[in-house]
Amino acid sequence: MTDLYRLLPPEMDELMATLGQPRYRADQILHALYREFPESLDALRQLPLALRTKLASDGYVLGAASEVRRVTSDDGNTTKLLLRMADGTLIESVLMQYPEAGGHPRSTVCVSTQAGCAMGCVFCATGQMGFERNLKAEEVLAQVIHVARMLRARGEHVTNVVFMGMGEPLANYAETIRAVRLLVDPRGFGLGQRHITISTVGLVHAIDRLAGEDLQVGLAISLHAPDDELRQRLVPTAGPTSVGDLVSAARRYFLATRRRVTFEYALIDGVSDSVETARRLAGLLRGSGTHVNLIPVNPTAGGFGRPSRHRVLEFERVLREGGVNCTVRVEKGSEISAACGQLRTDEANDAITEMELMRVPVAPMRGRRQSLPSPIPSQTR
Ligand code: SF4
Catalytic entry in 132, 138, 340, 356: 340
User: Which of 101, 106, 126, 104 lies closest to 116, judged by CA?
Assistant: 126
| pLDDT tens, position by position, 210-223 | 999 999 999 999 99
In contact, 156 and 105? CB cutoff 8 Å: yes
Is residue 121 annotated as part of the catalytic site, yes or no? no
The residues facing 143 across adjacent strands are none
Q: Which segments of 189-282 are extended strands (E)? A: 196-200, 218-222, 262-267
Which of 13-22, 70-79, 118-127 bottoms out in mean pLDDT, i.e. has the lowest? 118-127
Residue 30 has pLDDT above 80, yes or no: yes
Domains and CATH numbers, the chain: 2-61 (1.10.150.530), 66-380 (3.20.20.70)
C-beta of 116 in contact with ligand 1 (< 6 A) = no
d(CA 20, CA 233): 58
**pTM (two decimals):** 0.88
Average of pLDDT values for 130-144? 97
In this prediction, residue 102 has a pLDDT band, given cuts at 50, 70 and 90, of: confident
Nearest CA to ligand 1 atom 5: 127
CA distance 203 to 219: 12
What's the pLDDT band for 126 if we cut at 50, 70, 90? confident
* CA distance from start to end of the chain: 34
* Pocket of ligand 1 contains residue 201 by CB under 6 Å: yes
Under 8 Å between Cβ of 72 and 95 = no
Residue 154's CB: how many other CB atoms inside 10 A?
12
pLDDT at position 358 over 70 = no
Closest by CA position to 95, among listed 151, 154, 139, 142? 151
What pLDDT score was predicted for residue 377? 40
pLDDT band at 342 (very low <50, low <70, confident <90, very high): low
pLDDT digits (tens, 9 = 90+) for 166-178: 999 999 999 999 9
Q: Which helix (H) or strand (E) holds 294?
A: strand 291-296
- Nearest ligand 1 atom to the CA of 164 is 2
d(CA 320, CA 47): 58
Angle at which helices 275-285 and 243-257 cross, to 10°: 40
DSSP 74: T
Rounded mean pLDDT, 66-95: 95
Strand-pair partners of 196 = 161
Residue-wise pLDDT for 260-299, tens only, equals: 999 999 999 999 999 999 999 999 999 999 999 999 987 7
Q: How far is CA 276 from CA 42, 73, 239, 289, 294, in A?
A: 62, 36, 25, 22, 16
Establish whether 92 is a catalytic residue: yes
Q: Show the CA angle centred on residue 45, arms to residues 42 and 46, nearest 5°.
A: 140
* Cα 260 to middle of ligand 1, angstroms: 22
